[in-house]
Amino acid sequence: MFIKSLSLKDYRNYEYCVVNFSNGINILFGKNAQGKTNIIEAIYLCATSKSHRTSNDKELINLGNSEAHIKLTVNKQGIDEVIDIHIKKNNRKGIAINRIPIKKLNELLGIVNVIIFSPEDLGLIKNGPKERRKFLNLELCQLDNIYYHNLQQYQKILKQRNNLLKNLKKINKIDETISIWDNQLVQYGIKIINRREEFINDLNEIINKIHSDISGNKENLKIVYEKNVSNIDFKQKLENNLEKDIRFGTTSVGPHRDDMMFLVNGIDIRKYGSQGQQRTAALSLKLSEIKLVVDKMDDTPILLLDDVLSELDDDRQKYLINSLENIQTIVTCTGVEDYIKNSIDIGKLYQVSEGNVTLYDLHNKK
């Protein structure tokens, strides 16, 4: 799988631009705030329907305009797929695949499988559980349309239950309809728990070898799935916590409160690990994602590296770069020195300046 081209019209700081990518390593370099990350964001949007930077689609539209367009062409096993996204200021965005509008977002998921790695991801281990749940959901939704459906249903039911809890708090009375929402919440919650457990088990079969290699065989890494509830006790815990839930107007138990623990040589590095250990674990996690996608989808994902190489030390840089073979990679950076220093084989080099993307002559790079 590789992206052939991306065109943007009135998107962020771009009035119009077309970028044709190499199926190898593509570098977008330039000063800060020129639009490099906007290209990464647009690709991510075409893969997931969402921005990784904002939940407000209006922010994606160039100032002074009422709509924006993204068109991405991806080649999958020799066949081109075209994704068109039409973002409107006063309406929902429209998405078409091969010129046919889709009705449900899960029709988009899995067409382009991307793994994004940014400086913020280096903090995945030390940040709060919300970030780790986001990681779980984003990757699983790309890999599994059934998981996406179950998650959507769970979130809708959770919202309905929380609304009812807030109402019960006002009238100080338990409504028998709460049990209906509880049954549905458990039904979809159990499916989410089972799939997350399977995913983390799959990651564990991959991640320890990668982490051991990066750390010079000094560290063993294991991910532990910290389930807020189990399949067996979910319904009972909802019933036991009902009075508390009414008092606070929110559901206190369920997979929406899950977490992951990262053990290095048996130590929880979320709490006791050094920054170096946490960053190495985050890098191991991203590289494990790549291998897992290859194993499960029988295709390579596209790797998006958003200004991350400068945040890694030389050893981690070299390991990451050596892992890019046969994977289309789109990189943003302020300079190309790190890539030249590591003798990286660059497919295409683009300079980004004030919303303009210019193909750079590789023979003239310094």
For residue 104, is it left (φ>0), alpha (ψ between -120 and 50) or beta? beta
Residue limits of CATH 3.40.50.300 in the chain: 1-113+300-366
30 carries a ligand binding annotation: yes
Are the C-beta atoms of residues 69 and 11 closer than 8 Å to each other?
A: yes
Domain with CATH 1.20.1050.90 in the chain: 119-298
What confidence category does residue 314 fall into, taking pLDDT thresholds of 50, 70 and 90?
confident
The verdict on whether residue 31 carries a ligand-binding annotation is yes
- State residue 118's pLDDT score: 86
- Which segments within the chain are labelled E, that is strand? 2-11, 14-20, 25-29, 67-76, 79-88, 94-97, 100-101, 114-117, 221-226, 259-264, 267-268, 302-306, 329-333, 348-353, 356-359
Contact yes or no for 249/166 (Cβ under 8 A) = yes
Q: Provide the percentage of residues in the chain whose pLDDT is more than 90.
A: 68
Q: How far apart are CA 83 and CA 99, in angstroms?
A: 8
pLDDT tens digits for range 199-253 = 999 999 999 999 999 988 999 999 999 999 999 999 999 999 999 999 999 999 9
Rounded to whole angstroms, the Cα distance separating 114 from 36 reads 17
Predicted confidence band at 366 (pLDDT cuts at 50, 70, 90)? very low
Q: What single-letter amino acid sits at 251?
A: T
Residue 296: how many CB atoms within 10 A of its CB?
13
Residue of 341 and 313 predicted with greater confidence = 313
Tens of pLDDT, residue by residue over 41-63, are 999 999 999 898 888 889 999 99
What pLDDT is attached to residue 363?
60
CATH superfamily to which 119-298 belongs: RecF/RecN/SMC, N-terminal domain (1.20.1050.90)
Q: Is 334 annotated as a binding residue?
A: no
Residues 6+ away with beta carbon under 8 Å from 136? 196, 199, 258, 260
CA 116 and chain centroid, separation: 6
- Per the document, the length of the chain is 366
DSSP SS3 for 310? helix
Average pLDDT over residues 61-86: 94
Q: Which residues contact 331 (CB under 8 A, 6 or more apart)?
A: 25, 26, 27, 28, 305, 309, 339
**CA geometry: angle 335, 339, 341, nearest 5 deg:** 105
| pLDDT value of residue 320 | 85
Over residues 183-210, mean pLDDT: 96
83 φ, ψ (degrees, to nearest 5): -110, 125
Phi and psi, residue 329, nearest 5°: -130, 135
**How many angstroms separate the CA atoms of 135 and 140, rounded?**
8
Alpha carbons 185 and 154: distance in angstroms, whole number: 6
Looking at the predicted structure, is the pLDDT value of residue 343 above 60?
no
State how far the Cα of 282 lies from the Cα of 203, in Å rounded to an integer. Answer: 13
Tell me the whole-structure pTM to 2 decimals. 0.89
Q: State yes or no: 54 annotated in a binding site.
A: no
Half-sphere exposure of 260 (CA within 13 A, CB side): 27
Residue type, 156: K
Distances (CA, A) of 32 to 37, 334, 335, 341: 9, 7, 10, 21
Structure tokens at 325: 């073979």
Task: Collapse the DSSP code of 201 into the 3-class scheme (helix H, G, I; strand E, B; otherwise coil) and give the result.
Answer: helix
- Statement: residue 298 has pLDDT above 90: no
pLDDT greater than 70 at residue 37:
yes
Residue identified by tokens 């995945």 is: 124
The CATH number for 1-113+300-366, chosen from 3.40.640.10, 2.60.120.330, 3.40.50.300, 3.30.465.10, is: 3.40.50.300
